[in-house]
Amino acid sequence: MDAYVDANTSGLRWLSRLRWWALAGTLGAIALAWLLDWQFVHVPAVAGGVVVMALVNVALVARAKRAREVSWRELGLHAAVDLVFLSWLLAWTGGLSNPVSVAFSFHVVLGALLNGRRGAISATTLSLACIALLWTLDERHWLPQPELVTVPRTLILLALGLLVVGLGYLALVVAERHVAERREAERGVTLLLDSLAALKVGLDLVGPDGKSQLANETARDLQRHPPAQEAARALETNEEAGPVSRRFAVPVRDALDHRERIIDLVALPQSRAIGARALLYVDRTDELLVEQRHVMLERLATLGRALQGVAHELNTPLTTMQTLAKDLRAALKDAALDERLRKDVDESLQLLVEESQRCRTLTQSLLSSANDGRRPGTVAQRAVDVVRRAVRLVGAAEVDEVSLDPSLDVVIPVDADRVLQVVMNLVQNALRATADLKADGRGPRVVVKARRAHGALLIQIADRGPGLPAEVRARLFEPFVTTRPMGEGTGLGLYTSQLIARELGGSLVIDDAPSGGTLATLTLPAPELPDRPLASKRPDGRSAQGEG
């Protein structure tokens, strides 16, 4: 309504300015008639009409300023006043025989410009009524001035010039208004398309012939994918009157992000106003990811509470296991055993003591993290010892080759027990992936290497298994995602390992190995370590063939 009122107000102002120009032109015509001694012009009556019209124009302008709303009736009043003034002038200047009577056509155009179809009809009706009135007065010889029999050439030229200039001016106004409306429409369309692009929404207007009439960049980008084309074809055959939708997935452009974009294609009913059907491409990826993240966080919170309870209950049996293992070692010192067996049993018991202690450390870490967010300190360990210990714990006989830097005797600059946890998990995954290749005789199936480069410590676990499935690669480090059969894995191993690596200031990357299979690389910060060449060792300390 405000826009309508503003348009009518500006139209009245424009009409008032035109009226002043018309009055000025009438005064010029009076002067010309006096100079040329046109007897058919009653100068006093015409001049009086100009004065009265000037006063009326001032009153109309004041009325428009006081009015709260400029309606179509107000515009009709202005048109009626102008037509009455024109009829008055013609009545005192020869009637319809005066060629200036073509000015009636101007008012029809003005009515259409100011009030559209209603204004054109109203102006036409009033003009015909005024023409009929003048014709009746002329037929009955009631005109105040005698009929104009001989029309001066100067008057014909003046009327022709008035017609051409007036229609030319009105045509210019129409053209400028059309250009302004088109620019405004273009700005509106541009704003709409930019807003939809910012919201990750594609818009495509499809005509009755199935061809695209208008599409933003988002829609054009999605339409290139076969799933989007298939979804669009499916919606074309739908005859429902209401909106219909179809969901499809397309790969993302970023090669570092293996996720798919989930898109809802919504088809709106054909609009009669524009003669086209709107297709909306709505990106639901972030929304679905947020929903999945909420579910994961809830499950992780539940799991965390359960783990804290388990950690609290495990402290007592772990302490008992550690004590019994120490007692058993002491008792075996005086037992009559073969030296080789004694050494093997003693080493196993020592390992049991150390691992029970590590388990106690982990449980205490869980409990302390729940209380104040801090982890207890750990005993410093060498990198080479941590890797060898991880291999030994998962089964040294299962790992075909361990390639370690013999001079890698520096202390790990981060939590060694947590590094051990990550390495054990990666080695176990590699062994499970190559379980069917254990006896194929084609060489090492799991190789563990440790080296340092560019101020970092790199621990690599390579296997020659089947590699990573494409559907798992995109969600590799998400919690509860696993390739193992239901009931055999929780899907938290890699998720936890990546969290540990990040907390230690490093990174964990899993990719395809150059020779096939999978290569996991754990990178830890160690800026004080110089780069040195590698030498190969087996878990038992003997040299292995080749270098890493």
106-115, 357-366, 373-382, 383-392: segment of lowest average pLDDT: 373-382
Average pLDDT (529-538) is 42
Find out whether 281 and 201 touch, Cβ atoms under 8 Å: yes
Q: Which fold has domain 200-283?
A: Beta-Lactamase (3.30.450)
Find out whether 384 and 528 touch, Cβ atoms under 8 Å: no
Q: One-letter amino acid identity for 412?
A: I
Tell me, what's the pLDDT at 280?
87
**Residue among 186, 227, 220 nearest 203 (CA):** 220
Which has more pLDDT, 448 or 168?
A: 168
Tokens of 177: 């208004």
264-278, 348-362, 412-426, 507-521: segment of lowest average pLDDT: 348-362
Tell me, what's the pLDDT at 539?
42
Q: One-letter amino acid identity for 24?
A: A
Type and span of the H or E element at 178: helix 153-198
pTM (whole model) above 0.95 = no
Tell me, what's the pLDDT at 193?
79
Task: State how far the Cα of 70 lies from the Cα of 409, in Å rounded to an integer.
Answer: 92
DSSP letters for 379-415: ---BHHHHHHHHHHHHHGGG--EEEE-TT--SBPSS-
Q: How many CB atoms lie within 10 A of CB 186?
A: 10
Task: State how far the Cα of 174 lies from the Cα of 178, in Å rounded to an integer.
Answer: 6
Tell me, what's the pLDDT at 49?
92
For residue 259, pLDDT over 70 is answered with no
Mean pLDDT of the chain: 76
Q: How confident is the model at residue 454 (pLDDT cuts 50, 70, 90)?
A: confident
Average pLDDT (47-71) is 83
Which has more pLDDT, 101 or 472?
A: 101
Which has more pLDDT, 545 or 329?
A: 329
Which has more pLDDT, 522 or 296?
A: 522
pLDDT, tens digit, 9 for 90 and up, residues 10-55 = 777 888 888 899 999 999 999 998 898 888 889 999 999 999 999 9
- The radius of gyration computed from the CA coordinates of the chain, to the nearest angstrom, equals 47
Half-sphere exposure of 262 (CA within 13 A, CB side): 8
pLDDT, tens digit, 9 for 90 and up, residues 106-115 = 888 888 888 8
Tell me, what's the pLDDT at 304?
64
E strands within 207-252?
212-215, 244-251
CATH 3.30.565.10 in the chain, residues?
A: 380-548
Which has more pLDDT, 354 or 240?
A: 354
For residue 318, pLDDT over 90 is answered with no
Which has more pLDDT, 205 or 401?
A: 205
Find out whether 541 and 436 touch, Cβ atoms under 8 Å: no
For residue 411, pLDDT over 60 is answered with yes
Find out whether 265 and 280 touch, Cβ atoms under 8 Å: yes
Tell me, what's the pLDDT at 459?
86
Tell me, what's the pLDDT at 487?
47
Top CATH class, 287-377: mainly alpha
Q: How confident is the model at residue 5 (pLDDT cuts 50, 70, 90)?
A: very low
CATH 3.30.450.20 in the chain, residues?
A: 200-283
Tell me, what's the pLDDT at 311?
58
Task: State how far the Cα of 402 lies from the Cα of 537, in Å rounded to an integer.
Answer: 6
What percentage of the chain exceeds 70 in pLDDT? 73
Top CATH class, 380-548: alpha beta
Find out whether 448 and 521 touch, Cβ atoms under 8 Å: no
pLDDT, tens digit, 9 for 90 and up, residues 127-185 = 999 999 999 988 888 888 777 778 888 889 988 998 899 889 888 988 988 898 888 88
Average pLDDT (496-523) is 86
Tell me, what's the pLDDT at 112?
86
Task: State how far the Cα of 462 lies from the Cα of 483, in Å rounded to an integer.
Answer: 18
DSSP letters for 470-512: HHHHTTTTSTT--SSPTTS--S-HHHHHHHHHHHTT-EEEEEE
Which positions ≥6 away from 84 have C-beta within 8 Å?
Answer: 130
Which has more pLDDT, 481 or 384?
A: 384
For residue 339, pLDDT over 80 is answered with no
For residue 309, pLDDT over 70 is answered with no
